[in-house]
Amino acid sequence: MVTGAGGALGSDLVALLTAPGAPPTDSVVALARADLDVTDDGAVRGAVRAWAGAGEGPAVLVNAAAYTAVDRAETDPDAAAAAWAANADAPGLLARACAEVGAAMVHVSTDYVLGPLPDGVRRPLEPGDPLGPQGVYARSKLAGEERVRAALPDAHHVVRTAWVYGATGANFVRTMARLARERDTLDVVDDQHGSPTWSADLAAGLVALARSPAPAGTRHAAGGGATTWCGLARAVFAELGADPERVRPCDTAAFPRPAPRPAWSVLGDASWRAAGLAPLPPWRDALHAAVTRHPDLLLG
């Protein structure tokens, strides 16, 4: 079962699970927001029971549903409530429903739950590093992690990722491609570091994890390597054949936002490798593959 199946990541998960060559024993139930309100306990329990009862063999629910309007959640009380319902309450409901039917759960979380390393250390972040969520979105996502672990202590996979962009919907890559055509120069933040992640690569990793014998736990999965938002924007310009130097670096203070962003959210792959899983491709290779496969990303 895939919840959040209408989003960029959910769409990639469903496409991968139902592609020609997928295991013939797989039975896939894809539920978008219109199909299931993941914040409704009765609806969740009913959907999970029907799904688990209709299948044979191991059952795994992959939760790709989330509220991601991080700035709106800081300024709008209704948005904050929606963020908490989708990111904290819903994962708990899904996990408890999975526990009732003996299903496992793969839950997608975020780099926002992590805190800074001590004394300004800069190295890839691993699951055991300090937590430090700032803002409604970050706190709601951490609460969701905790509820999944509590309900499914031996059958959960919490996967933190970062800087995800996909073939559908609004995202940073698409926005930079549009601005490349609209502006001569562009100022982009250069003091936030992260690991850009192509949603199709993340989907493949999540499916591999779901099918693996890896024990329950929390792991990180993101594009390999690191860059800044400015570096990612320059890479988008390069893919367009535009001069990357048209993208000018600036600091976070130049673009104040309601929700604080992590200055360092480069995710390591040690936990992923330790589970016997292949790490996601390097972010720059993934970007080139993404725009080659989906040239409409560069249409903005």
Q: How far is CA 248 from CA 70, 178, 232, 266, 284, in A?
A: 25, 16, 12, 22, 19
Mean pLDDT of 7-25: 89
Residue 121: pLDDT over 90: no
What are the tens digits of pLDDT across the range 23-81?
776 789 999 999 999 999 999 999 999 998 877 667 999 999 999 999 999 999 999 99
What are the tens digits of pLDDT across the range 132-174?
999 999 999 999 999 999 999 999 999 999 999 999 989 999 9
User: How far is it, in rounded angstroms, from Cα 240 to Cα 295?
Assistant: 10
pLDDT at 25: 66
Q: Which of 7, 55, 61 is nearest to 34 (CA)?
A: 7
Mean pLDDT of 179-188: 96
pLDDT at 58: 73
Backbone torsions φ then ψ of 105, nearest 5 degrees: -140, 135
Q: How many CA atoms lie within 13 A of 219 on its CB side?
A: 27
What would you report as the CA-atom Rg of the chain, rounded to the nearest whole angstrom?
A: 19
- Token pair of 62 as six digits: 């992959």
Active site residue 67: no
Kindly list the structural domains of the chain, giving each domain's residue range(s) and its CATH number in brackets, ordered by start. Answer: 2-171+196-223+266-281 (3.40.50.720)
Query: Residues 197, 272: contact at Cβ < 8 Å?
Result: no
Catalytic residue chosen out of the listed positions 67, 112, 137, 165: 137
Taken in order 141, 145, 146, 150, the sign of the CA dihedral is positive
**CA 52 to chain CA centroid, nearest Å:** 25
User: How far is it, in rounded angstroms, from Cα 176 to Cα 24?
Assistant: 40
Angle at Cα 25 formed by Cα 24 and Cα 28, nearest 5°? Answer: 95
Quote the pTM value: 0.96
Q: Which of 67, 127, 108 is nearest to 199 (CA)?
A: 108
